Structure 1
Amino acid sequence: MWRRLVDDLSSEFRVVTPDARGHGESTWDGTAFSIPDLAADVAALVEHLDAGPAHLAALSMGGCTAVALAVRHPTLVGSLTLADTTADYGPDKAVTWAERATKAVSIPRERQLSFQRDRWFSPQFLEEDPAEVDRVSLIFTRTGSEAHAAACRAMGAFDDTSRLSGISAPTRVIVGEDDYATPPDMAATLHHGIAGSDLHVLGGTRHLSLIESAEARELAREHIVAVAART
């Protein structure tokens, strides 16, 4: 998922890319989990690696996880780069994400791809970089449907909006102008809630900005390098 940003950062930093429960190579016992649970997993990893305070670059559900981590474990966070994410999916989130969870397990994963690709990438990117689209699609189809459903329910229950003012780590918020999964108004809420943060809205970009957009990756790298130089 993070290949391109890892390539941009690995000459200067040790880069760790954890998989959430039930995703990638991470195990999962099948029980329900919350976004704060995922944040606790990352906190435990940072502590195990003696890597704190860490610079967190996070996207989508990972951004929710990073917000929850910064709220609950502030000493472990050196900086935040939050891309195409939110602290709250809105008043209808529980119903919406419950429906998504049902579809995650009832529809074959390959048949979900047209919906997902339209959310992930702009039409231009779909046409110009089909190999990268296929690579990300393969990650999706290899993810277990039950884990996907559990993640949907976790996002439907998440709301840390009222706690954003407690985040002290230097924060950059990035969002695609055409991201309708976590649209710019959600990014603006993060920006207004986190003191000292900056906000960058990228034209012609959808939900997976850190994959689609070289500008997004450079904004992430620039922020991490600048904060690291000050600490």
Structure 2
Amino acid sequence: MKERRKILQIRRYDKIKLKIFETRKEMGLHAAEDAASCMRSLLESKDEINCMFAAAPSQNEFLEALAGIQDIDWGRINAFHMDEYIGFEIGDPRSFNGYLSNKIFGKVPFKSVNLMNGKNDFRKECIRYEELIRNQKLDVVFLGIGENGHIAFNDPVNADFKDTNLIKVVELDDACRRQQVNDGCFPDIDEVPKYALTATIPCLMGGSFLFCIVPGELKAAAVKHTLTGPVNETCPASIMRKHENVVMYLDDKSAKDL
């Protein structure tokens, strides 16, 4: 029998089931095992499923572990990603599509991989990608939380719990852009694009199952606000407390303020 990862604590915050681990590696391994179990279960009753992925260093351990799981029928899974910088073409190493292609999209045989192209006319790209999602309801969403409480690129200044769009263009706030430097994705803030395409909050919350992976001390304050603060757009991630099927995974550092 496969040994389960050691969980330090399991808690509930409204509808969120929270699992806390001692290390990032244990967190990522366990999240991947849970995700694989969910995906296999969905595929027992559906011909194919649709999964949306976040692109950030916080997802590294999880994506590495998930891509290594052999007994998932990847050929019945359609892959999407939730945000992309405007101005970056497909395959740009600074792009989110490039990150995900390197971490998982290019490592397992998905039925389809649907990439946002930041180099296209952004209005047309929003329409194109939104149509894809409307035609293929999201079954599973894998996401993180930003240092300012954002999910995808829904920063507090542009988050809208009642957004009528599924994909939109946003101007990134300074805290969000600084995080990209903190994460080592760019050498300085001047290199970080100011505009991006993003899945909206209703789009993300439209997923049937949410797996939220949030390691690291720099995320501790955002985690606390998400789980214990008011549910409103000042901390966009707080909306997850209203979702029926969400599990959040923390390491000891991101959980330190709880």
Shorter-normalised TM range: 0.3 to 0.5
The structure whose residues are more often strand, as a share, is 2
* Structure number having the greater helix percentage: 1
TM-score (ref. length: structure 1):
0.37
